[in-house]
Amino acid sequence: MIQFEIDQWQAWAPGLVSTDDWTDWAREPCELESGDAQPDVSFLPAMQRRRLSRLARMVFAVATPLVAGRPAMPLVYASRHGETTRTFAILNELAGEEPLSPTQFSLSVHNAIIGLWSIQQQDTSEMTSLAAEGDGLEHAVLEATLLLGEGAPEVLVVVAEDQPPTVYAPWINDVSFPYAVALLLKPGRAWQLSLGTAEPTPTSAAHPHAINLIRALLNNKPTLQNQWGSRQWNWQQTH
């Protein structure tokens, strides 16, 4: 069991940008949109914006408000599929025997986004990129609490997924819409997270674990259970 405090959060999905948007959705959840919507990252320099994929833009959009005016802090980023769209474009270029862009390749690796974040924030704190399964939220929170235990006063956690190209649909069924969630964690006992076991279930759910957590926070729900395969994660708000 691990304990921590969720000091602040931010989330983005198509059609859900503000806290009011998320509050309305949490009260009456509906199917979230897919499509080509992009988060607003107009606060970034134009040259930097052009280099960012939608996945990277989502990460910057939710993470930036949580670090504004705060000292440098560690970051834990988790994504199951990462820059699949960018990687697929590179594979198409290879198949067509076209010249590859070194920039495209460098931005396709799984830790590229935290590298861009470190540069943009001028933050040399410890940063971790996790290639997680559908319970990447819980693994990221576990990693963050280890950093808190080592003395970090606060840690930023970001979980994000973009919709992969449709060609991957037969193999990827856990991302029906793009989303990003950022949590600012601090030492404390307000929340505890434990791991149990359960009968394995199909590895798909109506909503990603991170979105389930946002809904629980907005509805003041003191408990939450997220399951992935045989792993059952138990969230408990203690006060």
**Residue 51 scores a pLDDT above 90:** no
Is the pLDDT assigned to residue 204 strictly greater than 60?
A: no
Residue 29: give its domain's CATH number: 3.40.47.10
Phi, psi of 175 (to 5 degrees): -130, 90
Whole-model pTM: value is 0.93
Q: What is the mean pLDDT of the chain?
A: 91
At residue 67, the pLDDT reads 97
Q: Give the residue with greater pLDDT, 157 vs 100.
A: 157
CB-facing half-sphere around the CA of 140: CA atoms within 13 A: 31
Percent share of the chain, pLDDT over 90: 64
pLDDT at 202 over 70: no
Which of 157, 135, 132, 133 shows the shortest CA–CA distance to 147?
Answer: 157
Tens-place pLDDT, residues 104-135: 888 888 899 999 999 999 999 999 999 988 89
The pair phi, psi for residue 213, each rounded to 5°, is -65, -45
Q: Is 227 helix (H, G, I), strand (E, B) or coil?
A: strand
Q: 195: pLDDT confidence band, cut at 50, 70 and 90? A: very high
Give the per-residue pLDDT at 237. Answer: 93
Q: pLDDT band at residue 184, thresholds of 50, 70 and 90?
A: very high
Q: Sorting pLDDT into bands at 50, 70 and 90, what band is 154?
A: very high
pLDDT over threshold 60, residue 203: no
pLDDT at 88: 85
Nearest to 73 by CA among 64, 61, 82: 64
Q: For residue range 92-106, list pLDDT tens digits in order.
A: 888 888 887 888 888
Q: Which domain holds residue 164?
A: 2-237
Specify the number of domains making up the chain.
1
Note the pLDDT of residue 166.
Answer: 83
Q: What is the pLDDT confidence band of residue 85, given thresholds at 50, 70 and 90?
A: confident
For the chain, the first-to-last Cα distance in angstroms comes to 16
pLDDT, residue 86, reads: 87
15 Ramachandran zone, left/alpha/beta (phi>0; psi -120 to 50) = left
